[in-house]
Structure 1
Amino acid sequence: AASPGQAGEIRLLLPPGPREGLRGASPARAGQGRAGQGCARRPRGRASPGRRGGTRPLAGLRRPLPGAVVQEVFAAHLLRPLARCLAGDAAERCRELALQLLRHGLSHGDRPAEALPVLLPALAQRLCPLRGCEPCEELRLGLLQLLSLLLRRCGASMAPYLSEVTHILQTTLLDDYAEVRRESCRCAVACAEAMPEHFHMQSESLIKPLMQTISHQHYRVRVDVIQATGAVIQFGNGKSMDDVLSHLAQRFFDEIPKVRQAVTTVIGEWLLHLRDRYSYFYKLIPLLLSGFTDEIPENTELAWSYWEKTGLQWEKENEDDLKDKIDFSVAPSHYPKGVTRPGLGCRELVSRNLSKILPGLCHDITDWVESTRIKASQLLYTLLLHAEDHITQHMELLLRTLYRACMDEESEVVRNVSLLSAELIGTFVNPKVSLRLITSAFEKTPVPSYVMILTAVIRGSPKEILKPHLTDLGNALSKAEICRRSEEVFYKEQLLCCVQALIEVCQEDCKEISLQLTKVLVTVMAIPCSQHLKEKVEETMCSLAEVQQLDGFLYLYKQHIIQLMEWVSVSHNCWTCYSPELLQLDVIATHSGPVIGEALHDFILILKTCLQPNKDPQMRLKLFTLLSQLLQKANETVNSQGQFLSYLETVIKDMLAPNLQWHAGRTAAAIRTTAVSCLWALIHCEMLSPKEILEVEGMLMPQMIASLDEDSKMARLMACRIVDVFFKVCGRQFDSDKLIKTYPEVLKRLDDASPDVRLAAAHTLTNCFKCLKDNDMKSLMQNNIRFLYQELLVHLDDQDQNIQNAVLEALKEGSILYPEMLVREIEVVVHKHRTPVYCNQLLHHIQSPKESVL
């Protein structure tokens, strides 16, 4: 038991306020024992004798004592007993009070280093698991706070105990209690700062536990670990740098801004103060620059601040080497708008380390983790912005990476690569180098990614620098193996974007490659794709016409129509339905409107060659469809110059007639149908005069009669209509033999399965009767007329009312020829009809003229 005097001294060492970090103990209970530890527990609520009479007389002495006095009392009488209590007492309360007394004594003593031989073994015993680790979390925290106090007060005197300290920290850095881990990190910082000359010998031993803790679930622990890592590397062994950089890089993806801020601070401090920082610039620069794209503005500003300081410091340290660049450093006239140019030191640091940074960064851009690819693509832009024209020597590696990255499924990566980084290539790299590399690549293997990068490079290039290379660009894009490479919509979209970029950048200079760009646009429009893409192509054509001061895209066609027709017709002798030129011809012919009439000779020549019966049937189908479409608006397309009729004989004899001949097979039938449709479009457009229609009838009437019996409903319908026009326009020129061959075939169509064909046949027979009004013709064909009456009266009872009305009109027209004969025929069949209404109407019509005459 302590003497009264000793008890008073002990009381003087107690702090006046509550003890921070100790669990549930108040100063008033400092002298209390615990049940079962040799001290009787007092009843609750009764004041202790010492409290009544022992402490009040000393209350006035609660003021700071001189450090020498504290040191003498503490070292001589208290240190060892308290250390033994701390290390081996079974009562948690005793260990707790001993810890507080030790902290107080060490805080106020003059020579705390004298306590190290006694305290360090006790701390190691309570904090290391092999020596009976302290079970209480709060006490472990207090012990570490005591260790931290020793490190701060003793400084270099702790050097002989460095191995014990690091051994303790190796354990506590992995403690289950988060606050213990945080305090361990602070101890590590204090240890590094206290013994900078010796710390490097043991620093490596702390790296592994720090890196195991750096991903702790509590963000405050992560922040403290990052700060501790900074100090351990700063004052320790640089060999550990490789072990920590990957872990720090991962913390840039941390969702907590303060964690990312801590990493930025540590990296920035290393770049400024690390002893061997020149050896690690290429590893540290990418990490700091990654902070430029942080979503928190404060973190971005912090990264910029450290980077500017680093650049200025490096610039000052290497002033002699940079003298010329400092004096003559001028920003390029075409520097990206809205972007602040980094300082000379920053640019030089990146340029000199780019060869070491770029390979690893290019690997990260194609990493399987999405967030890594995004961060790497953002960093690439920043690096290229600093490197400027030094990019040139890394073009091959850079382009290979960009080609892969711009096909990334993550849009943010594509934007950073194809819209930002690739544009910087156009800004800083001579087009003679960049364009040659890119065009040679996609000429060998045309893929969308090559065109995407080329587009971005063009957008980033200045107009005046790009002008000498326009012809080569236009020729490359318009090559068949490039623009016709694929019908893939995405590939065509990228070609379109490339043309748009050229027009936007070069403006009026595009006039010298207007034909090549038009070829590309025609090819893009030729693929079977969405209407949206076709509208974009048309808008681009308008833009190309506008920069040439033309009124619209039709004038663009007018300017190049002859060259375009020559372009597509080079190999027309061997076209098939799969030939891309066929689709291009379709676009030129339909999209150019009246301009196609100016190249009619070339157009007809292509059709004449490709519509021969020995050519690919599917191709002929497509061409007949195209011709039919044009003939529906002939005066606005093929006949816009009034020259189509001069090719009428060629169209009839060399195109239509051969393809109307009957051949077995469904494909041949489809060709005949399209040919008949084409003929109907030619006749229906009202471009032909009666004389020209008579010429057509003379050449094609047998084929039309044969077409009335085709399997295709459309062919039969078109044939009926064409024969109807022939009867209407040329009927009086028909002889009896021709009529006798024609009308039975038309009459058969009244039994057709299609109501439309039956209706067309009835109208055709109406005009057939008009052809027989001549007395001589009527006499020669009296029996044929009787047969017509009989057959038509049968169909007058058709189930379709529209057919009945059409047949009635035909009979009314035919009644003029032999009315009495028709009346007799009506009387024979009227009782057989379901209703006599139509027969009565016909009789009334026949008899009405006689009544009017009377």
Structure 2
Amino acid sequence: MAVAAAEGAEGAELCQALSRPLSLLQQPDCGRAARLRALEAIGAELRGRAVPGAVLQEVFAARLLRPLSRCLAGDAAERCRELALQLLQHGLSHGERPCEALPVLLPVLAQRLCPPPAAEPSEELRLGLVQLLLLLLQRCGPAAAPYLGDIVRVLQATLLDHYAEVRRESCRCAVACAQAMPEHFHMQSESLIKPLMQTISHQHYRVRVDVIQATGAVIQFGNGKSVDDVLSHLAQRLFDEIPKVRHAVTTVIGEWLLHLRDRYSYFHKLIPLLLGSFSDEIPENEKLAWTYWEKIGLQWEKENEEDLKDKMDFSLSPSHYPKGVTRPGLGCRELVSRNLSKILPGLCHDMTDWVVSTRVKASQLLYTLLLHAEDHITQHMELLLRTLYQSCLDEESEVVKNSVKAAELIGTFVSPKVSLRLITSAFEQTPKPSCVMVLAAVIQGSPKEILQPHVAQLGNTLSQPGVCQRSEEVFYMEQLLCCVQALIEVCQEDCKEISLQLMKVLVTIMAIPSSQDLKEKVEKTMSSLAEVQQLDSFHCLYQQHIIQLMEWVSVSCDGWSCYSPEVLQLEVIATHSGPVIGEALDDFILILKTCLQPNKDPQMRLKLFTVLSQLFQKASETINSQGLFPSYLETVIKDILAPNLQWHAGRTAAAIRATAVLCLWALIHCEMLSPKEILKVKDELMPQIIASMDEDSKITRLMACRIVDAFLKACGRQFDEDKFKNTYTEVLKRLDDASCDVRLAAAHTLANWFKCLKDSAVKSAMEGHIEFLYQELLIHLDDPDQNLQNAVLEVLKEGSVLYPDLLVREIEGVVHKHQTPLYCNQLLHHIQSAKESAL
């Protein structure tokens, strides 16, 4: 009784102190300054006294609430409204029965905050009004239910306020409202979804965070049907550049999956959003998603324990599970497997979206889903493969990388009998590089023991002409190489049974015009194939398969053209096999004899002659490695080189003659064409070689001079008068050649011509020709090129032995005409010295 009396006395005293300012505040003609003084006086009284809550409540409800509310609702002075607001907040914070203020304050809040337009122009006061609403909701709780309509109407307006802080405070109000009266809130919750979604992309990230949190509470405590209205907006926020925004989305989705009343209906829509955070670049966000996901899986296990009993007892991790990856729990795996058919179609559509970030996110999610689904992937293979064929061609490298990882999981969890049948059936149409890329990834992800029964099928598929020869596109060939590398890496020694097929593929890849880098990769892969078969090097592979490889390329050699892939394949086998080509000369020479006839495609012949000349340049290391080539010389010269030395019009024909001449010179230079062999073929080749000295090609003229020189050394003493005559007349013309190299080679050849004639029986018959030759050489002795002068001097010294007196007369007849008589004098001195020595 004493306490009640004391409180009554305090209340009376407080009322007495407030009566004068309240009376002043309520006068109709009270000015702004007077109202301000009255409000300040009220505030001083309330804050200056330690008044119990019960006393304050009585005074506040009876004397202050309505005057302050009227001031807040209609005072023209902003400062007055501000002071009234502060006093109302003080009263509600410290009073014991704040619910009694609801019928008075909520209409005022609605008047000041709701359109059209909002009556309160001040941003700070609008923020204060919303804070007042939050205070009411926090203190009144379920008692605010009768006013839910007004509250929602206010929030619909304030959630779209121009002032960001008002929007943030409104989000907190929405959360408080949802939590305060869930039994009633669900009837009005849908009204808040539209303004929330209009605000979810606000430029201030803190607003976006608050909106996401509010959305979570509004739907969790409200109508779950609104999930469909917000999902696309929340999904978009997973791409937000601010980590805290993505964190908020993950939290909301996780809470829904744990606590939403009808969450089972939305699992297939919510799971992709949560799993999408597994690839968040911020570890904290990724960890949060995993933590929620594990809780969700465990909760689902408990709720469905009967259905999962057998699987819980026998759920062992596969022995071939991807290394370094933690297997998700049974509940998580089952959740994904049971909802995969609903998730995949939309996800596969996103994999080909025009927005790069969407494709990247979708590809990351696909990998996560397949990791959970394990062998349940099998029933979705056709859709998956169609999607992967397209996504593996994506211009964004991250999409391709994730797609390949997903394809590796197909190899890990799906039986090769199923996956390989579907993939190889795509090869029967027009195989794309992406098909081959997917196959390589599936092989890479497959366990060795499971793949072993299918090795032969894979080898045969890859080596089919329609697969390995389908395209010369470098990207396609790179993927084909990846397939072979994956097979070797996974199957190891089991690759021995398809070694020939893999060699065909590797030879085909190396045969396409491409970068040196790709060729080096192919060679490295060949070395790996040799290594798993315990062979010393890739040359041993060629040795093992050279006959089959020759038969493989030569099947259609009679109809080859420059576009035939077999031509390039033959080049690889011949030049890359090193010494092994010397063991397959029967097949190799037969192919050359067939393809190098004059009636065959000129471009193709040119290519093969180029290959042949390369081999001849290192004959002992290649074509003659076994010392067997000489027995094929007659065929090579008579049936291959000689027909192609015949003159035909056109640049290509000239190039063919050039390569044929080069081949012949290579044979002579590497001494495979011995003097004895030259003697056999001189009559057939000499006229054509001499004719080649007049070709447009400098290299052809040079090689022809050198070949004639070699022929003179080998059998020049056996030439008859006509051969000597025909030889020197053509060689002499080359002293006027545009090329210095050709001129010097011609001079060297003429020196040998003189040597051969010195001991010949036709020397006397050639005197007139020798005289003519002396005259021509003396002209060149005064050539502007000093190198040629020296070379011609040596030729004349060699020729002076034949008819020295004749040469002396010729010298004396022209020496006075020479700009540089030095060489003539040297030559005269040489002849004189030779005569003296003879005496």
TM-score normalised over the length of structure 1? 0.93
2:365 is aligned, of 379, 386, 389, to: 379
What's 1:23 paired with? Answer: none
Residue 100 of structure 1: how far off its partner (Å): 2.5
What's 2:567 paired with? Answer: 582
Q: Which residues in structure 2 correspond to 1:615-654 (within 5 Å)? A: 615-654=600-639
Report if the CA contact (8 A) 1:13-1:105 is conserved. Answer: no
Residue deviations 1:424-476 (CA, integer Å, cap 9, x gap): 11111111111121122133212211111111111111111111111111111
**CA distance in 2 between partners of 1:359 and 1:206 (Å):** 31
Residue deviations 1:162-199 (CA, integer Å, cap 9, x gap): 11111100000011111111111111111111221111
**CA distance in 2 between partners of 1:132 and 1:62 (Å):** 36
Q: Which residues in structure 2 correspond to 1:398-797 (within 5 Å)? A: 398-418=384-404, 420-774=405-759, 776-797=761-782
Cα gap change, 1:130/1:853 in structure 2, threshold over 3 Å: closer, same or farther? closer
Cα gap change, 1:177/1:55 in structure 2, threshold over 3 Å: closer, same or farther? closer
Residue 6 of structure 1: how far off its partner (Å): 8.6
Aligned residues: 828
**CA distance in 1 between partners of 2:15 and 2:420 (Å):** 85
- 2:168 corresponds to 1:168: no
What's 1:24 paired with? Answer: none
Residue 31 of structure 1: how far off its partner (Å): 11
- 2:68 corresponds to 1:63: no
Report if the CA contact (8 A) 1:268-1:303 is conserved. Answer: yes
What's 1:38 paired with? Answer: 30
What's 1:9 paired with? Answer: 14
SS at match of 2:627: coil
What's 2:131 paired with? Answer: 145
SS at match of 1:816: coil
- For structure 2, list consecutive stretches of 5 or more residues without a partner in the other structure: 1-8
**CA distance in 2 between partners of 1:37 and 1:298 (Å):** 62
**CA distance in 1 between partners of 2:680 and 2:653 (Å):** 26
**CA distance in 2 between partners of 1:559 and 1:74 (Å):** 104
Cα gap change, 1:769/1:32 in structure 2, threshold over 3 Å: closer, same or farther? farther
Cα gap change, 1:283/1:826 in structure 2, threshold over 3 Å: closer, same or farther? same
Amino acid at match of 2:358: T
What's 1:98 paired with? Answer: 84
- For structure 1, list consecutive stretches of 5 or more residues without a partner in the other structure: 15-28
What's 2:326 paired with? Answer: 340
Residue deviations 1:607-652 (CA, integer Å, cap 9, x gap): 0010111100111111111111111111211111222111111111
Q: Which residues in structure 2 correspond to 1:83-232 (within 5 Å)? A: 83-130=69-116, 133-232=119-218
What's 2:806 paired with? Answer: 821
**CA distance in 1 between partners of 2:705 and 2:685 (Å):** 13
What's 1:17 paired with? Answer: none
SS at match of 2:149: helix
**CA distance in 1 between partners of 2:791 and 2:297 (Å):** 95
Amino acid at match of 2:56: V
What's 2:6 paired with? Answer: none
SS at match of 2:100: helix
**Comparing 225-234 with 357-366, which one deviates more in the overlay?**
357-366
Cα gap change, 1:75/1:575 in structure 2, threshold over 3 Å: closer, same or farther? same
Cα gap change, 1:105/1:472 in structure 2, threshold over 3 Å: closer, same or farther? same
Cα gap change, 1:692/1:213 in structure 2, threshold over 3 Å: closer, same or farther? same
SS at match of 1:129: coil
Cα gap change, 1:790/1:141 in structure 2, threshold over 3 Å: closer, same or farther? same
**CA distance in 2 between partners of 1:257 and 1:367 (Å):** 24
**CA distance in 1 between partners of 2:123 and 2:765 (Å):** 127
Q: Which residues in structure 2 correspond to 1:258-269 (within 5 Å)? A: 258-269=244-255
- 2:815 corresponds to 1:830: yes
Amino acid at match of 2:203: Q
1:316 is aligned, of 281, 302, 308, to: 302
**Comparing 97-106 with 400-409, which one deviates more in the overlay?**
97-106
**CA distance in 2 between partners of 1:55 and 1:621 (Å):** 107
Residue 112 of structure 1: how far off its partner (Å): 2.8
Report if the CA contact (8 A) 1:30-1:97 is conserved. Answer: no
Amino acid at match of 1:248: L
Residue 758 of structure 1: how far off its partner (Å): 1.6
Report if the CA contact (8 A) 1:125-1:131 is conserved. Answer: no
**Comparing 805-814 with 75-84, which one deviates more in the overlay?**
75-84
Cα gap change, 1:831/1:108 in structure 2, threshold over 3 Å: closer, same or farther? same
Residue 818 of structure 1: how far off its partner (Å): 1.1
Residue 324 of structure 1: how far off its partner (Å): 0.3
Residue deviations 1:4-30 (CA, integer Å, cap 9, x gap): 99995269999xxxxxxxxxxxxxx99
**Comparing 275-284 with 685-694, which one deviates more in the overlay?**
685-694
Amino acid at match of 1:682: L
**CA distance in 2 between partners of 1:559 and 1:565 (Å):** 12
**Comparing 92-101 with 721-730, which one deviates more in the overlay?**
92-101
**CA distance in 2 between partners of 1:136 and 1:585 (Å):** 87
Residue 242 of structure 1: how far off its partner (Å): 1.1
**CA distance in 1 between partners of 2:441 and 2:473 (Å):** 20
Residue 55 of structure 1: how far off its partner (Å): 11
What's 1:295 paired with? Answer: 281
Determine what percentage of the aligned residue pairs are the same residue.
79
SS at match of 2:182: coil
**CA distance in 1 between partners of 2:237 and 2:43 (Å):** 55
